[in-house]
Structure 1
């Protein structure tokens, strides 16, 4: 292991980690938004929109992210739609993550007992107020473990973006291996930076789960 080589290449991996975090941040943010909308549509069986959402979820979860990225990056250009690599990566990760977030939120919404909804309505709350103040806070709490797992999943899936020349962590590792044949050093840096990114997020999510722990008859 050449430690001097590792130290010299730390700045490159630091820059690549910033790109990885940028990809992860936007894809998670958009995925949460899409997930909430899709969960509402599927949970309330909104006519006309529900079949579209079901098709989207099945298509997203049953096609590889690599194929989705290739379609966005290479396929759309054949149709005259030219998107840069970063935009394609964010769109692809959002397309994938939105379906997983939708299922997480749907499970949370459907876990709320109907008695609570009926009680809220009987107190004079509108349907929208019932959802905002009664259903969603509890549903979000129930969904936190799945949401956290999906966030970690999306961060790791940013490595696929290297296939369309996005200079994130995986791209940088492959580049160093190809240029200098320093496989051990490049993989060590790759694992190190992924741990630096993922471990604090994983610990934070675990702490959040404990703080918002949900049990059938109240908080634990």
Structure 2
């Protein structure tokens, strides 16, 4: 018989703590995206390299990142590296795992964006006296950013949601960790996790909305 008594007041009283955790969640997601974009650009260049070693390294990274669970990647950063004497804090392990995942997915997004750019574009830059690197940076990269921007927004949302996996490695300052701690003290599971789900949803929608506005401003032409 359904006899559960909802006590939303406890959840709303803890809302400031949960919002503090949401800020940590957003911080991890943003840092992981910055690192992920930088690594993805390097992987993109490696995949275009004439070196089989560099191409193989980049391809392996992308394949592992895209075809293994994100939880596995976070576990490897926290527990796996610990087996070799490299001990990362829960925050750092979570950041490293998400950044690794982001880099793999973003590198594939960038590869698709590059395919949308005609080969004549970099050749036109070279004909104006640019080096290969200058042509990539000044001609190809801006067009690639335009094509890949909105797909990268989806990856940002995914990064926000992936932070919830931090509780499995002892992360207790992000939204999921704070919610878990509050639930352990009060056993009001439905109320706390329902409120956390709403906060995650609002963060994701705000990020999507902000990205859409930014895209219209940056890529008007």
**TM-score of the aligned structures, taking structure 1 as reference length:** 0.89
Residue 126 (1) aligns with residue 131 (2): yes
CA distance in structure 2 between the partners assigned to 1:45 and 1:154 by the alignment: 32
Give the whole-Å Cα distance in 1 for the aligned partners of 2:18 and 2:122.
50
SS in 2 for 1:81: coil
Is 1:38–1:53's contact at 8 Å kept on the other side of the alignment? yes
Query: Is the contact between residue 30 and residue 156 of structure 2 (CA under 8 Å) also seen in structure 1?
Result: no
> 4+ residue stretches of structure 1 with deviation over 4 A?
211-214
The equivalent of 2:163 in structure 1 is 158
Q: Please identify, of 95-104 and 113-122, the stretch whose mean Cα deviation from structure 2 is larger.
A: 113-122
Aligned to 1:187: 193
Equivalent residues of 1:69, 1:88 under 8 A apart: yes
Contact 1:12 1:172 in 2 (8 A): yes
Measured against aligned partners, the alpha-carbon deviations of 1:96-130 in whole angstroms (never above 9, x if no partner) come to: 11001111111122221112222221121221111
Match among 199, 205, 208 for residue 199 of structure 1: 205
Instruction: Please report how far the alpha carbon of residue 46 of structure 1 lies from its aligned counterpart in structure 2 after TM superposition.
Output: 4.0
| 1:54 paired residue number | 59
Unaligned runs of 5+ in 2: 1-5
Structure 1 segment 1-220 matched on structure 2, within 5 A: 1-167=6-172, 168-211=174-217, 219=221
Q: Distance in 1 between matches of 2:138 and 2:83?
A: 47
Task: Give the SS at the match of 2:171.
Answer: coil
Matched residues in 2 for 1:61 and 1:45: separation?
Answer: 24
Residues in 2 aligned to 1:45 and 1:18: alpha-carbon distance in whole angstroms = 43
Q: Return 5+ residue gaps in structure 1 as ranges.
A: none
Q: Structure 2 vs 1, CA of residues 212 and 45 (structure 1 numbering), >3 Å: closer, same or farther?
A: farther
Distance in 1 separating the partners of 2:72 and 2:113: 30
Mark the CA change 1:188 to 1:12 in structure 2 (over 3 Å): closer, same or farther: same
* Conserved 8 A contact 2:109-2:148: yes
CA drift at 1:65:
1.6
CA contact (8 A) 1:40 1:106 kept: no
Q: Secondary structure at the match of 2:179?
A: helix
